[in-house]
Amino acid sequence: MANRSFVTIGLVGPDRTGAIAAVTQQLFRMGANIESLEEQVARGKFRMTLLASWPGAKLEEKKIRTQLISLARQLRMNLTLRLSDATRARKRLAILVSKETHAAEAILRAWKSRALAAEPVLVAGNHPQLHSLARRYRLPFALIPYRDRAKAEASLQSHLEKASVDLVVLARFMKILSPDFVWPWKNRILNIHPSLLPSFPGASAYRQAYDKGVKIVGVTAHFVTPDLDQGPILCQDALRLRPNESLPSIIARGQKLEASCLLRALKLCLSRQLDVHWGRVHGV
């Protein structure tokens, strides 16, 4: 495996006959070996993710990208490409943020203290507030306005490809990613949610828990799937509420738990000691 280089190819567009054959034949002509392929057709839309490999550590990236982009245009589909350098020892991370700092800060502190076997290469957010955090850690920051989700996700995908990102971490990123965006990143996007899922999905989880009068509040780190807050669970943690504890106190303690749980899940992914099968994480 060390002597091969890999490209993950994603295609999304109108369902049409022969799309899979066109891609696999093109890859065969380019000397690639197909490692895995997954496709889905739903409501007339075709989605495919394919992992291809080439012998050797170096790829003719420009040639591969040019030919596959041309093919995608012929098929009238959107193409994503993610390259994995066989010589790269550490995964490249993108950290997606909104306004809260606690989850992103935990990851970046672990990185700086050499407690994280990965390399953050991009911080991206739908608000400018965390630009200063990225600057403090000398990382590039991409501001992704979300007035139009399709344009925002196209911009985000472009930034991820340019930075050769392997893994995306949603560090309290408060936007819902579309199925078209998520599909090519299967089991490559981590999220932290402030509840013991499947309880209290969606927004305002702490408020939901507080209003229901629960005695134990938890957090869940999971992979992101097209179904909101329904992805395979990596790890969970919980805290017992104090009598008559206020909502701000619950949120403050919960945020500390979010940061530690997300960091633990990220380290688990980087250890490569897990497998996802039938929607469940195994080997952990």
Please write the tens of the pLDDT for every residue from 20-61.
Answer: 999 999 999 988 999 989 888 887 889 999 989 888 766 777
Which range is least confidently modeled, 24-33, 255-264, 272-281? 272-281
Known catalytic membership, residue 229: yes
Instruction: Provide the pLDDT confidence category of residue 3 given band limits of 50, 70 and 90.
Output: confident
Collect all residues with Cβ–Cβ distance below 8 Å to 118 and sequence separation of at least 6.
Answer: 90, 91, 92, 93, 111, 167, 266, 270
> For residues 160 and 169, what is the distance between their CA atoms, to the nearest angstrom?
12
Domain boundaries, the chain: 4-84, 91-282
Strands, E assignment, 157-201 = 167-170, 189-193
If you average pLDDT over each of 91-100, 189-198, 269-278, which comes out highest? 91-100
In this structure, which topology does domain 91-282 adopt according to CATH? Rossmann fold (3.40.50)
Cα 186 to chain centroid, rounded: 8
CB-CB neighbours of 169 under 10 Å: 25
Over its C-alpha atoms, the chain yields an Rg (Å, rounded) of 20
In this structure, which topology does domain 4-84 adopt according to CATH? Alpha-Beta Plaits (3.30.70)
Q: List, as one string, the DSSP characters of 203-246.
A: S-HHHHHHHHT-SEEEEEEEE--SSTT-SPEEEEEEEEPPTT--
Please write the tens of the pLDDT for every residue from 233-243.
Answer: 999 999 999 99
- Specify the DSSP element, H or E, that contains 8: strand 4-14
4-84 and 91-282 agree in CATH topology: no
Question: Looking at 85, 166, 229, 275, which residue is catalytic?
Answer: 229
> For residues 196 and 201, what is the distance between their CA atoms, to the nearest angstrom?
9
19 token code pair = 């799309």
Whether the predicted pLDDT of 112 surpasses 90:
yes
pTM: 0.84
Whether the predicted pLDDT of 136 surpasses 90:
yes
Give the residue with greater pLDDT, 271 vs 12.
12
